[in-house]
Structure 1
Amino acid sequence: MTLVLDLRPVVLVTGILLTALGATMLVPALVDAIAGNPDWQVFAASSAATTLVGVTFYTATRGMSRTLSTRQAMLMTVVVWIALVTAGALPFLWSGVVPSYTDAFFEAMSGLTTTGATVITGLDDAPPGILLWRGMLQWLGGLGIIVMAVAVLPMLQIGGMQVFKAEAFDTPEKILPRATQISGSMTLIFVAFTAICAVAYMIAGMLPAEALIHAMTTVATGGFSTRDTSIGFYQDAAIEWVAVVFMIVGSIPFLLYIQVLQGRPLAIWRDQQVRTFLTVLALLVLIGWLVVEQTLTELFGGPGAFRAVVFNTVSIMTGTGYASADYGLWGAQSIAFFFIIMFIGGCAGSTSCGIKIFRFQVLFAEVRERLARVLYPHGVFVKRFNGRPLDPRVPLAVTTFIFLYLATFAVLSIALQMTGLDLLTAMSGAGSAISNVGPGLGDIIGPAGNYQSLNDTAKWLLSLGMLLGRLELFTVLVLFLPQFWRS
């Protein structure tokens, strides 16, 4: 077999992004230096090592064309993500907050994929630089996910994402002329939402440093917290409602916010995906309340019980993974409820995760057409999404994606159980990883626990699950096909 894939553009982009990541490590280094914490040296060394590798990659391939083929774009997406996680793990390892590189890699993967699963204990007393770095990883990961969803996945036609390519670039009413401008505009919006969220948290009673870190992980729907007990540490209604609002904000397509700023204030509500997302979310809150009302009323009282349902339902469905209480104690029905909703996710083009709402819409449209054809065999039916006819290939792509998603979940669950985990931990861990949610279910990895006690094999399997879920499965799995590397 002859390898004909030119890797130089992939190395070039990887070098540029590693250099940028190395520069960002200087921010927590400065924070630690100001706080008098010796960990500033850890971040300085990590920055130097990462920047050196990045500059070397860039220098070796400088002058190369940055135009990528489809195969190069797929490979670049995976290589960049793994390279950034590999480098992002260095501060965790060298600072000593985790005992091994396996734990450091797991934490960095959880951060950049905005999963929110953690192996670090004692967050309440952790160094300020480490807490900030965890927040920055999720913030950078959330921003990268948005750009990838707009500029890369539609081009690769991954899992039906091509339906968004026409809306972004190929119609007369282009949002902005080029993908780079769109990415720049979304970055500014992302920064603005983070700033507004941080101010709202401070008004609600958080300290400025904690407010900033939680704002970064809320808008990115990541879920990393500065406290072992997550948002539940504060037991504050105002803080929880701020989190609910911005978790929802982060789960709506960021392209729509650009349209709003361009003078189309109703663009968000007119979007079919957003309307469905908000409707489903409201229905799930109602169902969750009916399922656990009696138990929660006994634990929290009236208003507190309803707030607990809203907060944790929004957190799990959007893939944020914050917890205000240990919902594993709410009864068997609540465990089943939260297990199911972790697969749903938010909207495509947002920082959210899971299968995503638009795929359920396409699947429903396909089922509805099949049923209509039974009644009217000679009828003409046109499936639409957001008022535009669907490419006939999209339903097949979506159906294939959902099947592969569930198959991957099943395989990962079995593999985790073979490492010695009990059934609930294995299944909820697999679902949480591939859906990028964070907390699982049960005593070990539930909302009151973390992933520190798992064996190394399980952690590497979960890291792979997080990567697969974040990069929409096909982007990673296609690399294992021999045909991918041939002409």
Structure 2
Amino acid sequence: MIDLRPVLFTLGSLIVLLAAGMILPTIVDLIAGNTDWQTFAIAMFLTALIGGMLMLSTRGSGDNLNLRQAFLVTTLAWAVLPAFAALPISFSDLNLSFTDGYFEAMSGLTTTGSTVITGLDYAPPGILLWRGLLQWFGGIGIVVMAVAVLPMLQVGGMQVFRVESFETVEKILPRAAQISGLISGVYVAFTALCMFFYMLAGMGAFDALVHSMTTIATGGFSNSDSSFGKFDSLGTDTVCLVFMVLGSLPFILFLQVLRGRPLALWRDEQARGFLLLVLFLCVGITLWLMIWKNFTLEEAFRYGSFNIISVLTGTGFASTDYGQWGAFSVTLFFVAMFIGGCAGSTSCGIKIFRFQVLFKFMRSWIERMVQPNGVFIARFNGRPIPDDVRASVMSFMTLFLGIFLILAFAIALTGEDWITSLSAAGTAIANVGPGLGDKVGPSGNFSGLTDIAKWLMSFGMLIGRLELFSVLVLFSPGFWRA
């Protein structure tokens, strides 16, 4: 039987931290004279009370989690925290249901960026800041989890980073907690730099603050229904593009850069592959818009590169309705949403390294067919790839496709058309944000979906953000056996 006390203590600690995060939007609404400050204050009190009770009732249980407890607390944290984060959203002046509040909070903490709120341009500042904070908290949580938890759980081939992540840095910092602390420092520094450059590009201070948090978290929540179309600026689009890419690179490599290895990002096979893909997509979509849609060079780069990288990284910002560009662009954006960024970043999707691992094994298999007596070893970052990594990656990608199709079919059963169902399922499991079509595309939002569809998408966001197996393993009877 699993000892739940360490799990509940850790969960209580996270709930208390979430309550502490409500202080800022409470103050902002109070200064702005918005009555929602009372809603935030009550939600903060209830959240802190329940989190504190969990901590006090399980204190002294130890803070060392075994493998099964790590699986359990990882899933519970991302499933339970949105319920508390939804309280100020659901009971605010926006008059949303708890279903809508939970959907919005889950979208925030998983850095998905899908929203059910309309009239964002006139929403209370506390709510706008809270949405940004949720994505910011979720972003750093995902990075720390990718460095310290997922390699240990051997989820979807993440064990390939276990040795690399800790062997390089252990010589300097012996514990994962210290590494996570330094990564958090880099995360905060990037957020501050992003805010600074947004303000230089013409954004107001509040917009710059919120958008810097959601950009570096590759989350995509904006303060306007028209997202980045509100600013209509090449400068803000370029700043966002740069920091979306930075947020999609492994944060542990930034530590190596700071330790005197300036070429660490380029020497890492995953980061190099991602940067080359970004370059290829930016050049490709720019040329396509110039040739086939008669865009000028500036328009093609500004709109094409911004939106395709926003979808690729799972950020979900939009500067125009790219769904109106025709069938080719719709197909390209639909495929790009599944790729994602790098493992160890705030990005989402399948992740670049899984495609690289599969390609390397496929190439070695073809080489063995041509030269049966040859010895061909698939390598990643110069190291042989273990067979269990290949099996994990193939299992992950097969399961990813299967869950995507099941989720799309389930959403279609609620009465949605297939374009809406497929893109909604894709954005949920890939944690991207806007889908395709008039209803959930970049010019719409998810408020028109039924409550059942929203709960289905919330579950899809959860399992997509936690790399599928971290959640699904809890449904195995063997997991609960002693």
Q: Which TM-score tier does this pair reach, normalised by the shorter chain?
A: over 0.9
Q: 1:33 aligns with which of 6, 30, 39?
A: 30
Post-superposition Cα deviations, 1:263-312, rounded to whole Å, max 9, x if no partner, equal 11111111111110011122122332344434543xx5331122111000
Q: 1:161 aligns with which of 134, 140, 158?
A: 158
Sort the Cα spacing of 1:136 and 1:296 in 2 relative to 1 into closer, same or farther, 3 A: farther
- Whether contact under 8 Å (1:292, 1:333) holds in the other structure is no
Code of the residue aligned with 1:283 in structure 2: it is: F
Q: Once superposed, what is the RMSD of the aligned Cα atoms?
A: 1.2
Say yes or no: does 1:89 pair with 2:68: no
Residue number in structure 2 paired with 1:10: 7
Post-superposition Cα deviations, 1:40-81, rounded to whole Å, max 9, x if no partner, equal 111111100000010000001001111111111001001111
5 Å-filtered alignment, 1:429-468, equals 429-468=424-463
Q: 1:269 aligns with which of 263, 266, 270?
A: 266
- Whether contact under 8 Å (1:98, 1:104) holds in the other structure is no
Q: 1:421 aligns with which of 416, 423, 434?
A: 416
Say yes or no: does 1:212 pair with 2:213: no
Q: 1:402 aligns with which of 385, 397, 405?
A: 397
Larger CA deviation: 278-287 vs 432-441? 278-287
Residue number in structure 1 paired with 2:53: 56
Sort the Cα spacing of 1:450 and 1:181 in 2 relative to 1 into closer, same or farther, 3 A: same
Say yes or no: does 1:252 pair with 2:260: no
- Whether contact under 8 Å (2:6, 2:62) holds in the other structure is yes
Sort the Cα spacing of 1:98 and 1:296 in 2 relative to 1 into closer, same or farther, 3 A: farther
In the TM superposition, residue 186 of structure 1 has moved relative to its aligned partner by 0.6
Q: What secondary structure is seen at the aligned counterpart in 2 of 1:324?
A: coil
Larger CA deviation: 436-445 vs 301-310? 301-310
Distance 1:291 1:415 in 2: 35
- Whether contact under 8 Å (2:342, 2:351) holds in the other structure is yes
Paired residues, number: 482
Distance 1:366 1:306 in 2: 35
Sort the Cα spacing of 1:6 and 1:182 in 2 relative to 1 into closer, same or farther, 3 A: same
Residue number in structure 1 paired with 2:180: 183
Sort the Cα spacing of 1:322 and 1:175 in 2 relative to 1 into closer, same or farther, 3 A: farther
- Whether contact under 8 Å (2:244, 2:310) holds in the other structure is yes
Q: What secondary structure is seen at the aligned counterpart in 2 of 1:89?
A: helix
Instruction: Give TM-score scaled by structure 2 length.
Output: 0.98
Say yes or no: does 1:286 pair with 2:312: no
Q: 1:316 aligns with which of 307, 311, 319?
A: 311
Distance 1:323 1:214 in 2: 13
Identical-residue share of aligned pairs (%): 56
- Whether contact under 8 Å (1:291, 1:333) holds in the other structure is no
5 Å-filtered alignment, 1:326-405, equals 326-405=321-400
Say yes or no: does 1:231 pair with 2:228: yes
Residue number in structure 2 paired with 1:199: 196
Q: 2:476 aligns with which of 472, 477, 481?
A: 481
Q: 2:65 aligns with which of 63, 68, 74?
A: 68
In the TM superposition, residue 173 of structure 1 has moved relative to its aligned partner by 6.0
Sort the Cα spacing of 1:466 and 1:391 in 2 relative to 1 into closer, same or farther, 3 A: same
Sort the Cα spacing of 1:39 and 1:295 in 2 relative to 1 into closer, same or farther, 3 A: farther
Instruction: Give TM-score scaled by structure 1 length.
Output: 0.97
- Whether contact under 8 Å (2:113, 2:220) holds in the other structure is yes
- Whether contact under 8 Å (1:335, 1:441) holds in the other structure is yes
Post-superposition Cα deviations, 1:397-419, rounded to whole Å, max 9, x if no partner, equal 10110010011101111111111
Post-superposition Cα deviations, 1:11-68, rounded to whole Å, max 9, x if no partner, equal 0000001011101101100111111111111111110000001000000100111111
Q: 1:221 aligns with which of 218, 223, 226?
A: 218
- Whether contact under 8 Å (2:340, 2:348) holds in the other structure is yes
Larger CA deviation: 280-289 vs 151-160? 280-289
Code of the residue aligned with 2:21 in structure 1: it is: T
5 Å-filtered alignment, 1:298-309, equals 301-309=296-304
Code of the residue aligned with 2:46 in structure 1: it is: A
Distance 1:35 1:172 in 2: 45
- Whether contact under 8 Å (2:290, 2:297) holds in the other structure is no
Code of the residue aligned with 1:198 in structure 2: it is: M
Post-superposition Cα deviations, 1:116-160, rounded to whole Å, max 9, x if no partner, equal 000000000000000000000000000000000000000000000
Larger CA deviation: 104-113 vs 370-379? 370-379
Code of the residue aligned with 1:356 in structure 2: it is: K
Larger CA deviation: 213-222 vs 370-379? 370-379
Code of the residue aligned with 1:405 in structure 2: it is: F
Post-superposition Cα deviations, 1:189-236, rounded to whole Å, max 9, x if no partner, equal 100000000010000000000000000000000000000000011110
Sort the Cα spacing of 1:169 and 1:305 in 2 relative to 1 into closer, same or farther, 3 A: closer
Distance 2:171 2:470 in 1: 27
Residue number in structure 1 paired with 2:114: 117
Q: 1:469 aligns with which of 451, 464, 482?
A: 464
- Whether contact under 8 Å (2:34, 2:124) holds in the other structure is yes
Sort the Cα spacing of 1:175 and 1:287 in 2 relative to 1 into closer, same or farther, 3 A: farther
Structure 2 residues without counterparts, runs of 5 or longer: none
- Whether contact under 8 Å (2:290, 2:296) holds in the other structure is no
Sort the Cα spacing of 1:51 and 1:173 in 2 relative to 1 into closer, same or farther, 3 A: closer
Q: What secondary structure is seen at the aligned counterpart in 1 of 2:158?
A: coil
Structure 1 residues without counterparts, runs of 5 or longer: none
Distance 2:198 2:367 in 1: 50
- Whether contact under 8 Å (2:286, 2:297) holds in the other structure is no
Say yes or no: does 1:146 pair with 2:134: no
